[in-house]
């Protein structure tokens, strides 16, 4: 008595099964090649040092990304610092949360609000200069593993601070200290000095549909 060949299950065919096997094998082959490329890049990137990370552009998420890095660093037991330029009139969820951990995160709100609300360039410049003094102090202290300068790009774009002075202070910081800088309009000289730069591109935003800023999402 001869054994009958297995019959295809309902809704399938032998050719479909064969094609599925081929697709799986092609996927495996691609992943093998991709792993080799990635492993080679990892093998070549063995140097540890502090990095400058910039998030800029008109899209949402620049400060959110920066604060995410602060929390990540805290999770690794690093001392962190935050200096907020421009912002300050409206308390944010990030500030309320991070102030619960004063030993792990030193938080300074140095701005008085958006420039179209303050409407006083001289006062805005004075506040930015005071904020940079706080930032400079952190940049000189190796105890800080990561510092966030939120909306610094805007202060530079508007000419409230000298770009060359800021870059010089950044480059003189401790070797292993990381710096995260956020805000629209990052000047090209700062972009050139940074190690990682992301330009947030807007695709769609709730505000354009008449949905106001809400706690937990925008502030």
CATH number for the domain that contains residue 105: 3.40.50.300
Q: Is the pTM of this model over 0.85?
A: no
Q: Which of 36-40, 85-89, 164-168 comes out lowest in average pLDDT?
A: 85-89
Contact 206, 59 (CB under 8 A): no
98 belongs to a structural domain: yes
Mean pLDDT on 54-61: 95
pLDDT of residue 114: 61
* pLDDT band at residue 174 under the 50/70/90 scheme: very high
74 belongs to a structural domain: yes
2 belongs to a structural domain: no
Residues 6+ apart with CB under 8 A from 217: 206
pLDDT of residue 47: 85
CA 200, CA 190: separation in Å to the nearest integer?
Answer: 16
Q: Is the pLDDT of residue 19 over 90?
A: no
Percent of the chain at pLDDT > 70 equals 86
Pick from 79-88, 183-192, 198-207 the range whose average pLDDT is largest: 183-192
Q: Is the pLDDT of residue 125 over 70?
A: yes
165 belongs to a structural domain: yes
86 belongs to a structural domain: yes
Q: Is the pLDDT of residue 113 over 90?
A: no
Task: Choose between 104 and 118: higher pLDDT.
Answer: 104
215 belongs to a structural domain: no
Task: Choose between 118 and 199: higher pLDDT.
Answer: 199
Q: Which of 129-133, 158-162, 206-210 comes out lowest in average pLDDT?
A: 206-210
Tell me the two tokens of residue 91: 């308390």
Mean pLDDT on 196-217: 88
Contact 132, 138 (CB under 8 A): no
22 belongs to a structural domain: no
pLDDT of residue 41: 85
Host domain of residue 85 = 47-202
Residues 6+ apart with CB under 8 A from 39: none
Closest CA to 70 of 161, 155, 180, 170: 180
CA 98, CA 105: separation in Å to the nearest integer?
Answer: 6
pLDDT, one tens digit per residue, over 66-92 is 999 999 999 999 999 999 998 666 778
Contact 218, 205 (CB under 8 A): no
116 belongs to a structural domain: yes
- How many structural domains compose the chain? 1
Strand, helix or coil for residue 153: helix
CA 170, CA 136: separation in Å to the nearest integer?
Answer: 8
Tell me the two tokens of residue 97: 């949360």
């Amino acid at each position: 008595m001869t054994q009958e060949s297995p019959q295809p299950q309902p809704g399938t065919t032998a050719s479909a099964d064969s094609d599925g096997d081929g697709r799986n094998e092609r996927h495996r082959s691609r992943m093998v090649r991709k792993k080799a490329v990635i492993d080679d890049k990892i093998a070549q990137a063995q140097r540890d040092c502090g990095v400058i990370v910039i998030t800029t552009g008109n899209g949402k998420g620049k400060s959110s990304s920066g604060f995410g890095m602060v929390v990540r660093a805290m999770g690794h037991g690093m001392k962190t610092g935050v200096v907020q330029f421009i912002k300050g009139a409206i308390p944010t969820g990030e500030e309320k949360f991070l102030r619960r951990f004063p030993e792990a995160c030193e938080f300074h709100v140095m701005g008085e609000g958006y420039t179209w609300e303050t409407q006083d360039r001289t006062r805005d410049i004075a506040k930015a200069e005071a904020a940079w003094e706080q930032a400079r102090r952190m940049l000189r202290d190796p105890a800080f593993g990561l510092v966030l300068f939120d909306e610094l790009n805007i202060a530079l774009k508007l000419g409230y601070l000298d770009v060359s002075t800021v870059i010089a202070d950044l480059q003189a910081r401790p070797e292993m200290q990381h710096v995260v800088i956020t805000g629209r309009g990052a000047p090209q000289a700062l972009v050139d000095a940074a190690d990682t730069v992301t330009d947030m591109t807007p695709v769609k935003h709730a505000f354009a549909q008449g949905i106001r800023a809400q706690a937990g999402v925008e502030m």
